[in-house]
Structure 1
Amino acid sequence: MTAEPPQTDDEIKRAVVDRVREVQIPGGDLISEQLLEDITVEDGVVTFVVAFSRLDQAMADRVTDQLHGAGLATQGVEHARIEAVDAEAPETGLPVTGVDSMIAVGSAKGGVGKTTVTVSLARALDAAGLDVAVFDANVHAPDAPDLLDAEGPVQSTPSGSPMPVNADGIEVISIELIAEDGPVAWRGAMVHDVVTDLLGNAVWQNRDVLLVDLPPGIGEAVTTLVQQAPLDGALLVSTPTDEGARATERTGALFDAYEVPTIGVVPNMVATEAEDAASPFEGDGRSLADDIESVDVATESIEPIPFDPSLREPLAIDFDEPSTPGETAIESLAGTVREYLADASGSEAPADAVDLRGLPPAATQQQALAEFGVAGDSPVSMLMRGNPDELIDVVDDRLEFDGRSLARTAVDDLGHEGWLIELELETDADPSKPSKSEPTA
């Protein structure tokens, strides 16, 4: 009695997994060696997500071939697709995936309420309908998890990547959620390594915006993030004091040096007329942005945030209906950030674009040709890293062997997202023209 052929996507996936387990590599198989982050099957298309960073070029090519073969040899699979674990990672020194935009919140001076502003802003953006994440970069005094009521420990994926903790819809990563054995004296290179590992390797889940709560000063953690992370902008937080302005100017100069746009200066804990919210500082903070002359800001004016005890408990605030001056100011700041992100966003890749980012060169070419093979006469959209001219030439040369030719319909630089290329066959190609692979009379 023969086994019933797989019918559903789940059944096909189980059959694919069985075939993949038969593919042997040094040390075992692809699954036991944790080289596959995920396998999905949908409408006859199997997608393998591979940790190529752990493979040399020769092994990467071999694994790509074997996975294509295993997938297509499975009944019910019509097309096999290879993607990289870090496909969404931009070409920076510190790649970050699963996040559309990153905003740093910083100040060289401690005690200005920067973490409170970060957490409150995260809550306000979340209330406005955005998918939000917070990365607590303060390895010496991580406070964001407490304000967000985030509880660890952080779990890991099969390949060892940290999975953010979900705190009422906001994803959070912090050393506080990992170092459960008490304080750790992080120094120099250790700070660099822990920051890059936690932020760069974290599996963020389709976040619209990631807020990075920078520690005070311009030490190792701050310089690492400003130099290497794909930051889309930064907010500078300061109290209405000369000392705060001078410290903020130093941080702003660092952002400018590494071409991180400054969204604006956020005056915090400013004086108000409310008797129950008396600020320990004088002034309403409205001159801070002008006082920090060396910093070019994208937003001319950000509403000052008054000294407001309610902001000490951001989880208790309903930012859909702010009831205090401080809550209203945070809601206004969230609107400013949303407007900035909307203005800064460029072209977006179509949802059906094939993701070639992060694939080794040979795998990129192989997958592109495979996609064009199953698309027929339909256009193919693909995302990739680096200049796409070489890939287009490879595809065009291959198609000419079949008597066809390629029209490049669009090439679009998406910035952090990579390059979007849209390819389509020439519709006026002569079908009687012999292919290069066929002998001519």
Structure 2
Amino acid sequence: MASVMSALGLKQETHLLKLLPEPAQLHLLYKGSHHGFYMHTLRSKFDKEGRFVVIVYFKSGDVKGGYLSKSSESEDQDAFAFEINHQEGTPFPVLDDSKATHFSTSWSNGYLKFGKCLKLYTENREICVKSFDMIYHQSGTEPRYLDVELYRVGSAWRELSWTEEGRGSLRKNLVSFKPACQSLNRVRVLLMGPPGSGKSSFINSVRSVMFGRVLLLPFIGTATKGFIKKLKSYDIRSERGGKPTSLTLCDVLALGDGETTGLTLTDALAVIKGHAPEGHDFQSDAPIKADPSINYQIHCAVFVLNACQVMSTSEDLTETLRTLQAEIADLDIPQVVLLTHVDKVCHTVQEDVKFVYSSRILQEKMQKAAEVVGLPVSYVLPVKNYSSELSVSCNTDILLLSAVHHILQAVDDTYEENHHPTPADASAEPPHLQNSTTSPVTF
């Protein structure tokens, strides 16, 4: 089916997805211009169970269709007909017989009917379409429709519970998280990415989730060369003034193109190995030479990429990212990719991030992000940072907390497999939690 292209445009798909009862992904099963305009062929593509969408493309540019929540011949009270244009999708639900009150079908007579809105039936062995009393034939001198398509409505390629309960469960998991590896009492996660990738904004956003309000902190900026110049660690606290969780997010100088600008490969690896103390000021002509400390070691490396920029990632930056990925893999340290600004590349996601795993655009961006870094797509975690908002929202929180959850899972999976506890490790306490001048600011 890979060679058969859908005629459904991205904007049209966006409008259609919003009409469906839950986030979903569309899988093309039948295309008249490819399989033949025969009712029995269309019927053969229906399974005994499942949800389906039938779409008819008209020569006038109109797009009409119907949604079926089941493929049986019994009445389907959840079925509806719809129209789609460039501005919106309009459903005609099961409310009024004059519109699309109910779906009825009789395959023995060879027709598929959505109330009085839309009917597909056989005439002269070909599919004939009747829509609002207008009849469209595929051949002859009558007005023609261009194509008929059938889609299976499947679950989004990743599933999340987009509910208040789901958010509460993810938040509780973070607050109560303790590393499975007994040699770790705290997980230090390093965020690395080019300027504008959203490293600092992600930290700010995660803290905002925990505090229940969007924080306005001075370390967030829009400088083209990056805002952060030093190594800075931020404890993620359960609430304002609350106890730190087991997660610390670390921010560093932005990566550059090659070794002449930004965070160098040598310094990045030095930070990961624990050579860089808190507050280290990065200078291109002064590589890190301090002795390593277990207190500063990084337990997970996170590559942060901007969805708006990922398709045009330079060759130099790609080489830097892949070299880093390979070097970090040799250290047995888990790695993931954060793809930020997902709301800026897909209108559906901008309206509601719960569609992030239904969007074809986002799927392409995630695949590209995986390719750029050299990791599987399953390692790519899309997020929307808080930027213009002044208050938190449930679905944005869920996406952020889900990313954090997968980062912590990656640490548990890796360290439980490769590391064994020692008494010295178990008793070690990061210096920013001891009596020192580098304790993080609390709000």
Q: TM-score range by the shorter chain?
A: under 0.3
TM-score (structure 1 length as normaliser): 0.23
TM-score (structure 2 length as normaliser): 0.23
Give the number of the structure whose residues are more often helix, by fraction. Answer: 1
